[in-house]
Amino acid sequence: MATPEKEKELIAALQDAVIHYKVADAKKIAEEAVKAGADAYTMTMEGLAGGMETVSEKFDNHEYFVPETLLCAKALYSALDVLKPHIKTAEGQAKGQVVLGVMQGDVHDLGKNLIKAIFESAGWTVHDLGRDVPIQKFVEEQLRTDSDIVMLSAMMTTSMVGMKKLIPMIKEKNPKVQIMIGGAPISEKTVEEYGADSTADNAPNALREAMEMLEQLRKGMPTG
C-alpha cells in the first residue's frame, strides 16, 4: 500500500507526464505506481484523466494543437496499459453487458476507452465497437450480443446528432435496451430530446448509473 503522500506524488507525476506528453515517463511512473501498491483506479482517474483535463484547456485556449494533443493521448494510453489490469472497482456488484462505441465521424476515443477500462475492471463485458462507428453497427451488435445497455459517445456537436437517428432504431428492435449517451456536448437536455435513458459526465458516474439501470432491468421495472 502506498502512503497518501506517495499517491499524491504519483498522481502529480502522471498528470505532468500526460500534460507534457512524456510517453516513456508516463509508462515508467505507472509501473512505479503499481510496484508501490498505489490504487490504480485513483491513478487512472485523478492522474491520467486529471492530466487530460489540463490538456483540454490548453487545446481550447489554442496553446496546444492536434500534434501535441495526440502525443498527450499517447502518453495517457502508455500508462493506462500498465494500470488497467490492476484497477479494482465495485467488486461483487451486478455485472452486465454493454455495447460501447464512438459515433460516426468522431475519432475522440480517450473517454470511451476510460469507460471501457472502468467497466471491465468492475467485471462487465464490454463489446467495444471502437471509434467512427456507422450507426447500423450499434443496432447489429446489440442484437448479436443481447446486451443490456448501449453506450454512445460523442465529443463533437457534428457527431452527436447521429444519436437522434440511432436511438429509435435500437429501441424499435428491442424496447427493453437501455441507452446511455455521453461526451462533452451531451447534457440532460440532449437525453430528453434524443429519447435516450441517461447520461453521465465521467467513467465512474457512468458505471454507477449502469449498475442502477441493470438493477431496475433485472427487477423488470422501467428505468429513468
Binding region for ligand B12 (CB under 6 A): 49, 52, 55-56, 59-60, 66, 69-70, 73, 105-112, 114-115, 151-153, 155-158, 180-185, 199-203, 206
Coil vs helix vs strand at 30:
helix
113-117: Cβ within 8 A, 24+ apart: 113/77, 113/80, 114/44, 114/45, 114/48, 114/49, 114/80, 114/203, 115/151, 115/153, 115/182, 115/203, 115/206, 117/44, 117/80, 117/84, 117/87, 117/203
Q: How far is the CB of 39 from ligand B12 (least distance, A)?
A: 17
Q: How far is the CB of 85 from ligand B12 (least distance, A)?
A: 19
CA separation, residue 191 to residues 41, 161, 195, 196 (Å): 28, 12, 6, 5
- CB nearer ligand B12, residue 36 or residue 216: 216
Q: How far is the CB of 89 from ligand B12 (least distance, A)?
A: 13
Q: How far is the CB of 12 from ligand B12 (least distance, A)?
A: 18
- CB nearer ligand B12, residue 11 or residue 181: 181
Residue labelled with grid coordinates 459526465: 201
Q: How far is the CB of 3 from ligand B12 (least distance, A)?
A: 26
